[in-house]
């Protein structure tokens, strides 16, 4: 056992005492074990500043520390958060938010002798200004791309005016980028605010030991209550281990030293799950498993500007789309975690998703399409390159085998993740494995990948797909506020994509969580956001 492992185990033993310590005295006051929730983050947390809430490892703890104007419930409905109500004018351009009067920032010395203060509308002005400030360097400035201006009307009213109608805007405001931060703290700490966060959330920051542990404590002045009027959160503390070793994480969970395990790694998936996605017999009495649709579409992207004439053929792209068994792929490569992408690009769990059979496995039709293309174009080689990183090599090798049966030769280019991302953005790949996880809960987020004005590298249209009819429907959807009509437009656009096939959907992802039997109140949601406000542990 190396020194780092010893330190991690030692920190686990001491955490009850660390979270129980107070600044008022030097006495150590341990708190009950059943009031501390523990999980591990094997990826590197880089910041607890909402301006840098760009990935799950940052977003999850930030969500415990901060609040925004609005939030999502577990069914993707937009609910009030610090804003108790809001109005949208008839043009769909002016959003007026009315703030609660009982939201306080976490107690901190930056507020002087009062130790805290009430959140007011100008705090949102400051928070939004930071997203656009080049000195802050936030990657989240894009969330305000549709905004013309914003202002505090008074302490309790905040206005946002858009440049043009954008019905998905409220969904964007639920993102952690849009959380409120106090100017006293950001100005005092500067670039170190991300390591000294001061927010309004159900938990407050206590300690961050680099590469060892992050500790958050209960905010006893939090403004939300449960349906019975009981103050939230129920837990006294949150202890996040920062162990980069996934195998070690799994071992600690099976030993009961972690309360929660998110997702599942290929290194131990067969140990935990059967091929049909059920818990192995040895874990049924120890572990609870939750599954739910996750807003992530895994796909193969095809560069529509590629000089490879094979991939420019709609017949070949159709053959690729129906020439492999998605059910088999999910069963044997993912232990039945996920849903076969037999519909469109919009994933299961999001309004606009429409299950259909257009992409059902049909090897005979697929092979006939390849044969027909080859007879018409005998001079064109039946081969192309498919780029991936090591995390999805097994999936791409499965496709290579399945498509090989159609008479196609696929050469897999294995790349580091960062190199793959750069090559994809730069349009240097013929075909590539990719995924799109929803930034906000509206199908427009998925369809924006095919809008001509979003060509990469400036935008997310990595396939360089362009069709005037699609762009026309996209503009029409942006101008349509009525949800049913807008969703119908989304479905028409998705159907267009599935006819032209600049992407081959593989599967719609599924969030999967494992908890100890003692854990209750942990809810699932299609964004896989970790919300611990209502979580409790049985003694």
Is pLDDT at 30 greater than 80 in this prediction?
Answer: no
CA-based R_g, the chain, Å? 25
Which of the four pLDDT bands, split at 50, 70 and 90, describes residue 27? Answer: low
**Pairing mode of beta strands 503-516, 287-302:** antiparallel
- Residue 22 confidence (pLDDT): 43
Is pLDDT at 175 greater than 50 in this prediction?
Answer: yes
Determine the Cα–Cα distance for residues 178 and 190; give it in Å rounded to an integer: 18
pLDDT in tens, 466-518: 999 999 999 999 999 899 999 999 999 999 999 999 999 999 999 999 999 99
Q: 401: Cβ–Cβ under 8 A, 6 or more apart, which residues?
A: none
Q: What is the mean pLDDT of the chain?
A: 93
- For the chain, give the percent of residues with pLDDT over 70: 95
Contact yes or no for 69/84 (Cβ under 8 A): no
Contact yes or no for 433/392 (Cβ under 8 A): yes
pLDDT in tens, 75-123: 999 999 999 999 999 999 999 999 999 999 999 999 998 899 999 999 9
Mean pLDDT of 9-23: 47
Q: 489: Cβ–Cβ under 8 A, 6 or more apart, which residues?
A: 473, 476, 477, 480
Q: What angle do CA 231, 235, 236 make, to 5 degrees?
A: 100
Contact yes or no for 532/38 (Cβ under 8 A): no
280-285 long-range Cβ contacts below 8 angstroms, 24+ apart: 285/517
Check residue 231 and report its DSSP letter: B
Determine the Cα–Cα distance for residues 14 and 41; give it in Å rounded to an integer: 18
Is pLDDT at 134 greater than 70 in this prediction?
Answer: yes
* Burial of residue 233 (number of CB atoms within 10 Å: 0-12, 13-18, 19+): buried
Which domains are assigned to the chain?
A: 1-64+201-259+518-539 (3.40.190.10), 67-190 (3.90.76.10), 293-510 (3.10.105.10)
Determine the Cα–Cα distance for residues 41 and 56; give it in Å rounded to an integer: 10
Which of the four pLDDT bands, split at 50, 70 and 90, describes residue 9? Answer: very low
Determine the Cα–Cα distance for residues 448 and 227; give it in Å rounded to an integer: 38
Which of the four pLDDT bands, split at 50, 70 and 90, describes residue 26? Answer: very low
State the DSSP string of 399-430: HHHHHHTTT-EEEEEE--HHHHHHHHHTT--S
Is pLDDT at 384 greater than 60 in this prediction?
Answer: yes
- Residue 24 confidence (pLDDT): 42
Between the CA atoms of 26, 241, 204 and 170, what dihedral angle is there, to the nearest 10 degrees? Answer: 180
Check residue 143 and report its DSSP letter: G
Is pLDDT at 21 greater than 60 in this prediction?
Answer: no
CA distances from 316 to 310, 327, 370, 373, 507 (A): 7, 21, 6, 7, 20
- Residue 29 confidence (pLDDT): 67
Nearest to 440 by CA among 134, 16, 70, 22: 70
Check residue 199 and report its DSSP letter: -
Which of the four pLDDT bands, split at 50, 70 and 90, describes residue 28? Answer: low
pLDDT in tens, 293-316: 999 999 999 999 999 999 999 999
State the DSSP string of 216-255: EEE-TT---B-TTSPBSP--SEEEEE----HHHHHHHHHT
pLDDT in tens, 402-433: 999 999 999 999 999 999 999 999 999 999 99
- Residue 265 confidence (pLDDT): 81
- For the chain, give the percent of residues with pLDDT over 90: 85
- Residue 17 confidence (pLDDT): 47
Determine the Cα–Cα distance for residues 521 and 219; give it in Å rounded to an integer: 18
Nearest to 501 by CA among 339, 413, 369, 336: 369
Nearest to 300 by CA among 402, 418, 373: 402
pLDDT in tens, 216-260: 999 999 999 999 999 999 999 999 999 998 889 999 999 999 999
- Residue 426 confidence (pLDDT): 94
Is pLDDT at 18 greater than 70 in this prediction?
Answer: no
């Amino acid at each position: 056992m190396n020194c780092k492992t010893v330190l991690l185990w030692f920190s686990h033993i001491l955490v009850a005492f660390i979270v129980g310590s107070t600044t008022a005295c030097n006495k150590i006051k341990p708190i009950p074990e059943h009031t501390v929730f523990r999980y591990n983050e094997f990826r590197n947390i880089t910041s607890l500043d909402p301006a840098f809430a760009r990935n799950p490892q940052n977003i999850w703890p930030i969500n415990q520390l901060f609040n925004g104007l609005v939030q999502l419930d577990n069914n993707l409905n937009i609910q009030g958060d610090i804003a108790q109500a809001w109005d949208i004018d008839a043009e769909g351009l002016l959003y007026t938010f009315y703030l609660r009067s009982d939201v306080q920032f976490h107690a901190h010395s930056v507020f002087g002798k009062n130790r805290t203060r009430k959140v007011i509308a100008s705090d949102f002005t400051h928070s939004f200004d930071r997203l656009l400030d080049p000195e802050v360097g936030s990657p989240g400035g894009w969330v305000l791309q549709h905004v013309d201006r914003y202002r505090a009307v008074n302490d309790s009213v905040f206005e946002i005016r858009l440049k043009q109608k954008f019905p998905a805007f409220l969904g964007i405001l639920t993102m952690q980028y849009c959380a409120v931060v106090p100017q006293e703290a950001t100005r005092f700490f500067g670039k170190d605010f991300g390591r000294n966060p001061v927010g309004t959330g159900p938990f407050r920051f206590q300690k961050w030991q680099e590469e060892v542990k992050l500790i958050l404590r209960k905010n006893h002045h939090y403004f939300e209550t449960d349906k019975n009027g009981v103050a939230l959160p129920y837990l006294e503390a949150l202890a996040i281990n920062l162990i980069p070793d996934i195998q070690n994480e799994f071992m600690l969970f099976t030993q009961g030293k972690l309360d929660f395990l998110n997702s599942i790694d290929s290194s131990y998936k067969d140990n935990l799950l059967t091929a049909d996605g059920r818990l192995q017999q040895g874990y049924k009495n120890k572990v609870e498993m939750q599954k739910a649709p996750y807003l992530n579409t895994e796909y193969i992207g095809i560069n529509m500007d590629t000089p490879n004439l094979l991939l420019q053929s709609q017949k070949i792209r159709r053959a690729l789309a129906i020439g492999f068994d998605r059910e088999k792929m999910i069963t044997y490569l993912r232990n039945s975690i996920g849903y076969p992408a037999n519909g469109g690009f919009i994933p299961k769990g999001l309004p606009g998703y429409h299950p259909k059979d257009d992409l059902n496995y049909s090897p005979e039709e697929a092979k006939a399409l390849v044969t027909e293309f080859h007879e018409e174009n005998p001079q064109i080689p039946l081969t192309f390159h498919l780029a991936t990183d090591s995390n999805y090599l097994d999936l791409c090798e499965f496709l290579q085998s399945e498509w090989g049966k159609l008479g196609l030769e696929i050469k897999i280019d294995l790349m580091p993740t960062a190199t793959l991302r750069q090559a994809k953005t730069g349009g240097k790949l013929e075909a590539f494995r990719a995924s799109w996880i929803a930034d906000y809960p509206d199908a427009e987020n998925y369809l924006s990948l095919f809008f001509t004005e979003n060509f990469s590298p400036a935008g997310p249209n990595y396939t360089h797909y362009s069709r005037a009819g699609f762009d026309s429907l996209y503009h029409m959807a942006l101008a349509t506020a009525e949800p049913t009509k807008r969703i119908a437009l989304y479905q028409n656009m998705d159907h267009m994509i599935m006819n032209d096939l600049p992407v081959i959907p593989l599967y719609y992802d599924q969030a999967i969580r494992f908890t100890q039997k003692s854990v209750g109140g942990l809810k699932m949601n299609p964004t896989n956001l970790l919300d611990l406000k209502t979580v409790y542990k049985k003694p």
